[in-house]
Structure 1
Amino acid sequence: MIRAGARAGFVARGVLYLLVGVLAVRIGVTGSNEQADRGGALTEVAATPFGAGLLWALGAGLAGMAVWRLCEALFGSAGPKGGSAGKRALSGVRCVFYGVSSFLVLAFAAGDRGSGAGSTDRQSRDVTGRLLALPGGQWWVGAAAAGFVGAGLWIAGRAVLRAYRKHLAWGGMTKPQRRFMDVTGIGGGVGRGLVFGAVGYFGLRAAVTFDPKESKGMDDAIRSFAQTPVGPWLLVAVAVGLVLFGVFSFGQAKWRDV
């Protein structure tokens, strides 16, 4: 049951990242005002003929992922050193993340359109503003932003080093299947890592300038890549990376050891 929930969670995560990536590609190519984050993805799902059912399925899948991560935090994960304190703590953080994500998606499915579809940019500015208002607020914001930068580097680095292989049933996979996971795993991990890093970078700017308006959520962080010397092409490249990560998640649903 727990394994089935974990695999459903990988599928749900894949759908959301795939949709965010597609939205970001459209932004890079056409300059549209679509929202390339969780809210934009949920809005896209809701607009489909079976949108209501799909939203509930996505929320349930993310809940399954949260339960699996909770079990890992309590009892240890599969693989080498799965019972170490560090890995169990990381699973606990992931449990909270997917639990909150599941709640927001399910709230959106139940009709609370302000819950799952709110702009991550506005939410980021609101949270940053509240933190800055606390004693030592700049340090709190700076620490959280540094965490995002570190997470981005960690995600991209593990992807380049192909660390995901040790979590897959690698020995039982065919050569085309391995190549598929390498292409999507590396490209997807680097793209996802860049987005996390960009969110962290703007969070650090908000901390240094004591200005919550400098903070950006996923949507604005993705759009910021178009402001580099490379222009919209970097945005499109990062967007393709997010699409690849969504596809990689589908592969994890099939071949991940859980």
Structure 2
Amino acid sequence: MTAPGTQTARKVDNSEAIDHLARVGLLAFGVVHLVMGWLSIQLALGDREGKADSNGAIQQLAEQPFGKALVWAIGIGMVLLALWQLVDAVVGHRDLNGGKRLRKRLISLGKAVVYAAIAQSALRVAVGSRSSSQGDSTDSTSAKLMDLPLGQFIVGAVALGIAIVAGYLIRRGVLKTFLKDIDSDGTDGKVGTAYVWLGRIGYVAKGAGVLSVAALFGYAAATHEAKKSGGLDEALLTVLEQPFGPIMIGLVGAGFIAFGLFCFAWARHIDR
């Protein structure tokens, strides 16, 4: 017999209100990625003023005309996106059974945490509190982990976890598994084909970016130097210093833009 609370949660999960909530959140997520892509391309062209991560994108938006209003909209949208994934984590993926359902719900929970973190950053900026540097925060966290017993092993495990997320994103793009989240109208015809390619390119680019972060954490664990770790912006700066670095960063930036555009298509053709 199903508990009343679970029945209510399932009704919420099946409601059109959740669809609308998800659409607004995806639009906000798309805007963040468009700005991240633009900042990455600027980085590839030699401009190092803006940080090419979600925090940097939010700060950049806040500095534009009507920027605070847009950042408020981004923050609220990301809260809604986090709530959508939280509902999925509790009662979603009911078409699956056993371990597959548990895995999908854990993934939804992880997404909810990520979206909530972006929302917190946006809302802090919206109310006038300048977001702290992600790189400094990452270094501090890494240093604390490194000081723990088996700290080097823990940081290595974090690197492995980030690499798994990167692999998931790349696999999602290569195998087009994201198509399960889009209705059939979103993949029909030339426009649908364009949507599919935006998704494939976007997921692979996101995966490549996250993989570079995993590499930094892995290097920090191997060298026992917390300052070798960092967030996405630090990872891109490291890649920038390599042969053909600007080209690679430019491609990643273009991929972020592709993912942002795909989020707009996803919002229009969402299929939960």
Per the normalisation by structure 2, the TM-score is 0.88
Q: Which of the residues 22, 25, 41 maps onto 1:9? A: 25
**Whole-Å Cα distance in 1 between the matches of residues 59 and 96 of structure 2?**
40
Aligned to 2:225: 211
Say which SS state the counterpart of residue 112 (structure 1) adopts.
Answer: coil
Structure with max Cα Rg: 2
- Structure 1 residue 92 displacement after superposition: 1.3
1:160 matched to 2:174: yes
- Structure 1 residue 81 displacement after superposition: 5.7
Q: How big is each residue's C-alpha offset from its partner over 1:110-143, in whole Å with a ceiling of 9 and x where there is no partner?
A: 1111x3xx32222211110111111111121111
Q: 1:142 to 1:234 in 2, by over 3 A?
A: same
Larger CA deviation: 39-48 vs 206-215: 39-48
Say which SS state the counterpart of residue 45 (structure 2) adopts.
Answer: helix
Contact 2:59/2:125 (8 A) holds in 1: no
- Structure 1 residue 29 displacement after superposition: 1.6
Say which SS state the counterpart of residue 264 (structure 2) adopts.
Answer: helix
Q: Which of the residues 205, 225, 235 maps onto 1:191? A: 205
Unaligned runs of 5+ in 1: none
Q: 1:49 to 1:155 in 2, by over 3 A?
A: same
Q: 1:108 to 1:95 in 2, by over 3 A?
A: same
Q: Which of the residues 105, 109, 133 maps onto 1:119? A: 133
Contact 1:225/1:231 (8 A) holds in 2: yes
Q: How big is each residue's C-alpha offset from its partner over 1:164-210, in whole Å with a ceiling of 9 and x where there is no partner?
A: 11111025643123212222111111110001000001101111111
**Whole-Å Cα distance in 1 between the matches of residues 217 and 169 of structure 2?**
18
Off by >4 Å, runs of 4+ in structure 1:
78-83
- Structure 1 residue 100 displacement after superposition: 2.2
Unaligned runs of 5+ in 2: 1-16
- Structure 1 residue 78 displacement after superposition: 7.1
Aligned to 1:103: 120
Aligned to 2:110: 93
Query: What is the RMSD computed on CA atoms of the aligned residues?
Result: 1.8
1:180 matched to 2:194: yes
Counting matched residue pairs gives 255
Q: 1:62 to 1:79 in 2, by over 3 A?
A: farther
Say which SS state the counterpart of residue 258 (structure 2) adopts.
Answer: helix
Contact 2:89/2:105 (8 A) holds in 1: yes
